[in-house]
A and B are shown apart, each in its own frame.
Chain A
Amino acid sequence: DGGITQSPKYLFRKEGQNVTLSCEQNLNHDAMYWYRQDPGQGLRLIYYSQIVNDFQKGDIAEGYSVSREKKESFPLTVTSAQKNPTAFYLCASQGRGYTFGSGTRLTVV
């Protein structure tokens, strides 16, 4: 079945460490997105990519980085510069509609 796979589901890191969240899709979608979800704040766009080797900053890109070397993959790196990285992260892709992964809950201690 086609879909989006985010891994791992839960991730723990120490403060000051970079961490990379995985997002893979087999839907042959060109566009992919990363959102951050915090209680009471909805989903906020971090980065998006409309095509391979190209990506744009979203509303809250500071402290994050991405790459889009393959159509299927859009990994997100949470750097030590992100002041409050503990959150639920959702990846999505867009074809005729939007498809979401099941999310990664990152906890930084």
Chain B
Amino acid sequence: AQSVTQLGSHVSVSEGALVLLRCNYSSSVPPYLFWYVQYPNQGLQLLLKYTSAATLVKGINGFEAEFKKSETSFHLTKPSAHMSDAAEYFCAVSTTGANSKLTFGKGITLSVRP
């Protein structure tokens, strides 16, 4: 079984401040991990993914995440928030092989204050 925990439902930062969105996972096998962003009434856009290569993963729009096996974490960061980063962010985990499927966390809404 696999699961994802995203603590808190809402994060608010000032423009230019550090963005940190937390994600912890549970998986009985080595996981693949993902961060997605969603704008209102739209589908999901992939920000980045970890697939057992480098533990520090760089994604689009200046986001990055670090896979820490000892902490079962995959936190998303961005050094300087921009107004356009305001959206909902989902962490997800999957396994490989037959019947693989994505399991999502509950999501975090990021607000950016001017």
Give me the interface of A with B, judged by CB distance under 8 Å. Answer: 4, 9, 31, 33, 35, 40-45, 48, 50, 56, 58, 88, 90, 92, 94, 97-98, 100-103, 105
Which B residues touch A97, using CB under 8 A?
Answer: 46, 49
Which B residues touch A50, using CB under 8 A?
Answer: 98-99
Interface residues of B in 44-67 (CB under 8 A from A): 44-46, 49
Which B residues touch A101, using CB under 8 A?
Answer: 43
Which A residues touch B101, using CB under 8 A?
Answer: 33, 45, 48, 58
Interface residues of B in 88-114 (CB under 8 A from A): 90, 98-107
Q: Are B43 and A40 in contact (CB under 8 A)?
A: no
Which B residues touch A88, using CB under 8 A?
Answer: 41
Give the shortest distance, in Å, between B105 (CB) and chain A (any CB). Answer: 6
Q: Measured between alpha carbons, how far is A93 from B20 in the docked complex, in Å?
A: 29
Which B residues touch A58, using CB under 8 A?
Answer: 101
Question: What is the number of contacts between chain A and chain B, taking CB atoms within 8 Å?
Answer: 51
Interface check B9, CB cutoff 8 A = yes
Give the shortest distance, in Å, between B75 (CB) and chain A (any CB). Answer: 17
Q: Measured between alpha carbons, how far is A97 from B47 in the docked complex, in Å?
A: 12
A42: contacting residue among B34, B42, B100, B104, CB under 8 A: B104
Q: Measured between alpha carbons, how far is A58 from B101 in the docked complex, in Å?
A: 9
Q: Are A42 and B49 in contact (CB under 8 A)?
A: no
Q: Measured between alpha carbons, how far is A90 from B41 in the docked complex, in Å?
A: 10
Q: Are A98 and B102 in contact (CB under 8 A)?
A: yes
